[in-house]
Amino acid sequence: MKAIINKYLNYSKKCIDSKIFRNYFIVKNNKKIDLLQNGKLSCAKFVSEVLLKFKLIEYAHLRVVSCVKDMNKNNWKKVDINNLELGDVLVWDKNKSGHYHMGFYIGNKRAISNSEKYRCPREHHFTYMGKRKIIKVLRYKK
């Protein structure tokens, strides 16, 4: 189990500053629309693409809610926030724009998630220095 966790955490760390999760285009009314707003809303895309690469979920996702549903169907279990472990997936409460957020816990009160400001994965304090509330912690249990 620890081997797979180390693999996806190492991969997620290599994704820091990567622009590959920035965009997802659709055509609506003959207009090309980027649903991820050039990386502003890419947290679920980042997390789900990492988990999908290691076959820990079934699909890539654009939204946190659908990613969490997929995780729940694939042996991810909710755990207590006071018992964080490397590789746990953190889900933060909605921001002022009404969007949930998600990322990986990497230890020492640090996390990796997509940065709305930088529009790519970044390492940061796991509670954004107390500015975002963690509402769910998910751990892979096989």
Nearest residue to 113 (alpha-carbon basis) of 21, 7, 1, 4: 21
CA dihedral sign, ordered 56, 67, 26, 46: negative
Question: What pLDDT score does 1 carry?
Answer: 77
pLDDT by 10s per residue, the chain, length 142: 789 999 999 999 999 999 999 999 999 999 999 999 999 999 999 999 999 999 999 999 999 999 999 999 999 999 999 999 999 999 999 998 899 999 999 999 999 999 999 999 999 999 999 999 999 999 999 7
Question: What pLDDT score does 2 carry?
Answer: 87
Q: How far lies 119's CA from each of 20, 43, 91, in Å?
A: 10, 9, 18
Task: Give burial (CB, 10 Å; 0-12/13-18/19+) of 63.
Answer: middle
CA 17 to chain centre: 14
Q: Is 53:111 a contact under the CB 8 Å cutoff?
A: no
In CATH terms, the superfamily for domain 2-140 is endopeptidase domain like (from Nostoc punctiforme) (3.90.1720.10)
Pairwise CA distance, residues 138 & 80, whole Å: 9
pTM score of the predicted model: 0.96
